[in-house]
Structure 1
């Protein structure tokens, strides 16, 4: 009597043996001489099972070890219209796909709704330990009758709902891949990286939800999210949600001028750099051009001088005294509203902390100290906090209504993430948020600001002047 074909999960792949009748499964399978059986990518589990069932093939499914889970919510809220629409769009796409929503627009609650409606064991992957603990606290409250576990930061649970960092989930991808029916990828733009993608590729999960405010990646690999998670099924911008889920907001661009001494030094440094670029036939108009400059400049003394000149010119533009005077004026103008100050470099953060007695957070700030600063900011003990790039993503920042961007990159993602830090409506129904972007005229930074705004469509006023 012929054996019934069996489908089994094996360390991130599927094994199908003996070969079933029909041809629907062949496109997914590769013969493995080592075990003399057909092997199939785990991520093709759903398509493979559908193909076998469509042909009426008999087979025993031992691969999908994920369980049905009854998720009874410990609390429920009336969803915003965009959350209801996003959930419906995701369900209509077969419960696979990416939802693009701004920071503070309720992506975590949307995931809770998706988990409730799907009723399967769920793995949630997040980029940082801070986010892991935020999700854990939310899901413990959301589903008090269902065990919620952690994977990362010293924890190695095996619960039907598991919150893991991308790092830990990728390390254990071969053992996790058969256990979960729903994958939720928070900040899913991280997923297409060479290491993190294993979390999706080694998993049989038929249902997948990607969440992000900015899926686009500089390397173009965001296109791979379609294969790893599913197509983009829903998108809303901060402007579209302003006044409903998010606080009404505006952005104001303030242009400052360097002092005569700063401008002269800045131009002298740029002339030195540009001479090297012309000689080396290089252009900085793209990411590839910048990489070539970095590589070429390291090969000669002239190149290293050019890179040093570029760095010093940028530091002058980012840290000019004019910006700090504008910052001080804005803080006084908006007092006592809570304000976040963002810079690109740590040196300016520490300078502001020292000269203006404003608490500072950088990647060097110990975790306990960072939490203490944010707790004091939340209670109103501190009215302002200055940070470099550490608050861009993966940190629960208390409510603020004013953001001051003193410097940054050309990245649209960074801009949207920083804007999102002030859009949470919070306790004040009349809250109006404002983001000030302060940039230096006739410098490298002016072009950086222009490139950043070319890829975003925020509400903004025409550039103002603050020549002080």
Structure 2
């Protein structure tokens, strides 16, 4: 009688030796001449084991060492219907898959419910140190008796529940790979990059949850999330949840005319750019148009001048003086409502800060100073903040009611994240408002339209954005929000891993 096949873990891969009978494992394996044994990607652990069990192959599993955890939450909330539905959809998919929900809709609490439904050692990956510490604080408060640790920012814990930055988790992916049964990737659109994807590929985790507001990546690699974490199992937009889990909101576009001198210069610059693009047969509306323009700008003086013209024209559209007049009017009408002002560049942030005496936060703001500013914004000492990109992701921003978008990119993710900063329900019948100040008859109009298309409702529940194409009426009463009852979370059935 031959030896019983043994499955072991080796630096992000599995070794199966000696080869078992049957065919269930063959499609997963490749022969490694260096060790004269079959290797299998660690990510294939669950389907491999399930196939071996289905063929009733007798084998020793020396890969996974985890066992059930005792998770006794000290803080419980009644889940919103969308959280309950998302959890059930994830469970029905075999405790794996991606959930797409807008900012401020309770993705962290959904992850907590997933942990309670799958009480096993858990690795949670996040993009920033701020977000890592927010997760840690939430888990320590919720599960005070659990062994929760950190990986990143100088911490190198090895605990049953580990919160890590993507960078640190990727660096230690080989060592972490067989330690955790549940892998939760927050802001999971970061996962498919060349550097980060090893977190999932080197992991045997049979249970996987991805969370994001906008999964799309410009490189198209968001499609890899299905391979790395599982398919999209649930999706809702901000419009879907408005007035339920999120505050009801309005998006108010305000068009600003360029001054005559700005208009003349803008048209001159755009004509210069377009002449070059036409001569070079480059179409910016095509999939590769922008990359072609960038390459062309580095290869000739006319290309360089065309790119400089493009940038100057964009700066005129984004920073017209008319926007500051609109800003002054909006701040006066909404004082002392807690208000966030977003711009696309640091220069505009500091200009607004100096002109209106408003605290500013950019990537140059020291961490301690940023925390102090946010705390005074939370307390109401500072009713208004002006920021660039630094608050887009991974920072716990206090509740606000008004957002003023003076300039932004065409990124749908950035738009959703900025809108999400004012969607926490808070107390009372809060009506959130996002003002989108756009320069008329410029490229900003097309960018704004692209952002709105990306914010439309999920296909399962088509719903119109609350988009008001006129100047707002400030005296209208906000709609009354009636919360809906949620079903109780599912019971924890016995899990096979």
Name the TM tier (shorter chain): over 0.9
TM-score by length of 1: 0.98
In structure 1, runs of 5+ residues without a counterpart are none
Confirm or deny that 1:464 pairs with 2:463.
no
| Counterpart Cα distance in 1 of 2:204 and 2:448 | 43
| Counterpart Cα distance in 1 of 2:317 and 2:447 | 11
- Equivalent residue number for residue 420 of structure 1: 420
CA contact 1:251–1:436 (8 Å) conserved in 2: yes
Confirm or deny that 1:430 pairs with 2:464.
no
CA contact 2:318–2:439 (8 Å) conserved in 1: yes
- Equivalent residue number for residue 131 of structure 1: 131
| Counterpart Cα distance in 2 of 1:249 and 1:282 | 39
- Equivalent residue number for residue 478 of structure 2: none
Aligned ranges 1:447-458 → 2 under 5 Å: 447-457=446-456
- Equivalent residue number for residue 315 of structure 2: 315
CA contact 1:136–1:150 (8 Å) conserved in 2: yes
Aligned ranges 1:2-401 → 2 under 5 Å: 2-401=2-401
Deviations 1:199-241 (A, max 9, x none): 0000000000000111122222111111100111111111111
DSSP 3-state at the match of 2:288: helix
Aligned residues: 465
Instruction: Tell me by how many angstroms 1:276 deviates.
Output: 1.1
DSSP 3-state at the match of 1:68: coil
Instruction: Tell me by how many angstroms 1:429 deviates.
Output: 2.5
DSSP 3-state at the match of 1:403: strand
CA contact 1:253–1:460 (8 Å) conserved in 2: no
Moved over 4 A (4+): none
TM-score by length of 2: 0.92
- Equivalent residue number for residue 482 of structure 2: none
Instruction: Tell me by how many angstroms 1:119 deviates.
Output: 0.8
Instruction: Tell me by how many angstroms 1:463 deviates.
Output: 2.7
| Counterpart Cα distance in 2 of 1:19 and 1:44 | 16
Instruction: Tell me by how many angstroms 1:364 deviates.
Output: 1.1
Instruction: Tell me by how many angstroms 1:39 deviates.
Output: 0.1
Instruction: Tell me by how many angstroms 1:278 deviates.
Output: 1.3
Instruction: Tell me by how many angstroms 1:462 deviates.
Output: 4.3
Distance 1:18 1:200, change over 3 A: same
CA contact 2:250–2:468 (8 Å) conserved in 1: no
Instruction: Tell me by how many angstroms 1:63 deviates.
Output: 0.8
Distance 1:126 1:23, change over 3 A: same
| Counterpart Cα distance in 1 of 2:312 and 2:306 | 10
- Equivalent residue number for residue 444 of structure 1: 443
CA contact 1:256–1:465 (8 Å) conserved in 2: no
